C-alpha cells in the first residue's frame, strides 16, 4: 500500500513538474498584431501571464540571475518575464551601461533558453530625453535577437507629464532603429500619464509599422485606478488599439498602500475577459505591498510559501491556475 501511495505521489509530482516547464514559445510561436489584437501563430490570443523583475538597481537587482528565472518558470509557472532595466537612477544604464547590459543579457538569455517570452523594458520615465542611448541599446538588442520569437521590445516605461505627440515622435525613431534589424518581433510603445492615456493614443496611433502594441499600466487598489481608468482602456480596445499590460500591481501606485483583494480580482477578471497579456509588478524583497517576496528571501529562488508576501501568494496561485 505504501509503495502504491508513493507511486501516486511521484507521478503527481512528475506531471506538475512537466506542466510547469512548458516551452511556451514552441506552443505559441511568433507573436503578431492583427486587427487590434496580439495573436500567436495559430491566430489565437496567447494571453501571456508573468512577472516583472524590479528596477535593475536597488533591492531587485539581486534577482537578475539564472536560478531565479528557472524558479519562476518551474514554481510560479510564468510564461512571460519582464526585464526592467533601470536607465536614469544612480547606477542605471546611463551611468553604468556595462553592468546593466550584463544583467539584461543573463535574464533574457535564460528566458529564451527556457522557452519563455521576455519583455526587454527600457525602464525610464523620461526616455524622450535619452533618445540616442535608447536607439543605441535597442539597435544592439535587435541585432542580437532578430529571429528569436521570445523577445518583445518595450521602448518607453511610463512616460510622465508629457503629451502623446512627444511619446509618439520618440517611439517612431526607436521603432525605425529596431526595424532595421528585426522586422517582426512585437514592439510595445508607452502612453502618457504613466501608461494610462491609451484612449488618447487610440485617437492617433502610430502607422506604417507592423506588430506595434501599446502598454497599459494600473495598480488595482489605487483610488484613482478604478472604473474611470478601466473605461479609458475599454475605449482603446473598442478602437482596436492592441494593449499589453506590461505592468500592474495589487497595491497602490506608490508600490505600497492597501492590497484590496476584491479590487484586484475585478481587474484580473477584466484582463481575462479581454484576453490581455500582462506582467505583475514586482519581484523584489522590499517591504512594500506589491513586492512578491519578504525581506531576506533567497537570491536563487527556491522560496517556500512562507517567504512570499500576500501579493506573492496571490500571484503564484493565479499563474499556477491559469497558465496551463
Q: What's CA 311's distance to the chain center, in Å?
A: 16
Determine the pLDDT at residue 161: 87
Determine the pLDDT at residue 13: 38
> Residues 154, 158, 177, 288: which is the catalytic one?
158
> Residues 177, 222, 247, 252: which is the catalytic one?
247
pLDDT of 313 above 90: yes
Q: Please write the tens of the pLDDT for every residue from 3-35.
A: 433 333 333 333 344 446 899 999 999 999 999
Determine the pLDDT at residue 20: 60
CB neighbour class for 153 (10 Å; exposed up to 12, middle 13-18, buried from 19): buried
Whole-number mean pLDDT of the chain? 93
Classify residue 112 as left (phi > 0), alpha (psi -120 to 50) or beta: alpha
The residue-averaged pLDDT of 179-208 equals 97
Q: Which residue intervals of 85-213 are DSSP H helices?
A: 97-113, 131-145, 164-179, 192-195, 198-203
Q: Which domains does the chain have, with CATH numbers?
A: 25-322 (3.20.20.80)
User: Are residues 251 and 211 in contact, defined by beta-carbon separation less than 8 angstroms?
Assistant: no
Q: Please write the tens of the pLDDT for every residue from 291-307.
A: 999 999 999 999 999 99
CA distance 313 to 324: 18
The residue-averaged pLDDT of 179-183 equals 98
> pTM of the full predicted structure?
0.93
Determine the pLDDT at residue 21: 85
The residue-averaged pLDDT of 156-166 equals 95
CA distance 223 to 216: 17
Peptide bond into 13 cis (omega under 30): no
Cell numbers at 146, concatenated: 532578430
The residue-averaged pLDDT of 53-72 equals 97
Determine the pLDDT at residue 12: 36
Q: Please write the tens of the pLDDT for every residue from 264-292.
A: 999 999 999 999 999 999 999 999 999 99
Element containing residue 119 per DSSP (H, E)? strand 117-123
Phi, psi of 10 (to 5 degrees): -60, -45
Determine the pLDDT at residue 268: 97
Number of other CB atoms surrounding residue 188 within 10 Å: 27
158 has catalytic annotation:
yes
Amino acid at each position: 500500500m505504501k509503495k502504491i501511495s508513493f507511486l501516486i505521489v511521484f507521478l503527481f509530482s512528475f506531471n506538475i513538474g512537466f506542466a510547469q516547464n512548458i516551452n511556451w514559445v514552441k506552443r505559441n510561436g511568433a507573436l503578431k498584431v492583427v486587427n487590434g489584437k496580439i495573436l500567436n501563430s495559430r491566430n489565437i490570443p496567447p494571453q501571456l501571464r508573468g512577472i516583472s523583475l524590479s528596477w535593475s538597481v536597488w533591492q531587485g537587482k539581486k534577482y537578475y540571475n539564472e536560478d531565479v528565472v528557472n524558479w519562476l518558470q518551474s514554481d510560479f509557472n510564468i510564461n512571460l518575464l519582464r526585464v526592467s532595466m533601470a536607465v536614469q537612477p544612480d547606477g542605471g544604464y546611463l551611468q553604468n551601461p556595462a553592468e546593466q547590459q550584463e544583467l539584461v543579457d543573463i535574464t533574457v538569455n535564460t528566458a529564451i533558453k527556457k522557452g519563455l517570452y521576455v519583455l526587454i523594458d527600457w525602464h525610464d520615465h523620461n526616455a524622450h530625453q535619452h533618445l540616442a542611448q535608447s536607439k543605441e541599446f535597442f539597435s544592439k538588442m535587435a541585432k542580437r535577437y532578430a529571429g528569436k520569437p521570445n523577445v518583445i521590445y518595450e521602448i518607453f516605461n511610463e512616460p510622465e507629464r508629457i503629451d502623446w505627440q512627444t511619446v509618439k515622435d520618440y517611439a517612431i525613431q526607436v521603432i525605425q532603429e529596431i526595424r532595421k534589424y528585426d522586422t517582426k518581433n512585437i514592439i510595445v510603445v508607452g502612453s502618457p500619464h504613466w501608461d494610462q492615456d491609451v484612449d488618447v493614443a487610440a485617437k492617433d496611433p502610430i502607422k506604417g509599422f507592423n506588430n506595434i502594441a501599446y502598454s497599459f499600466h494600473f495598480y488595482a487598489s489605487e483610488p484613482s485606478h478604478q472604473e474611470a481608468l478601466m473605461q479609458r482602456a475599454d475605449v482603446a480596445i473598442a478602437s482596436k488599439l492592441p494593449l499589453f499590460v506590461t505592468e500592474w500591481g495589487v497595491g497602490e501606485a506608490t508600490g505600497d498602500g492597501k492590497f484590496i483583494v476584491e479590487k484586484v480580482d475585478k481587474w484580473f477578471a477584466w484582463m481575462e475577459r479581454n484576453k490581455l497579456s500582462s506582467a505583475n509588478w514586482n519581484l523584489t524583497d522590499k517591504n512594500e505591498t506589491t513586492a512578491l517576496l519578504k525581506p531576506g528571501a533567497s537570491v536563487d529562488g527556491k522560496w517556500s510559501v512562507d517567504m512570499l508576501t500576500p501579493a506573492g501568494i496571490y500571484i503564484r496561485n493565479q499563474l499556477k491556475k491559469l497558465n496551463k
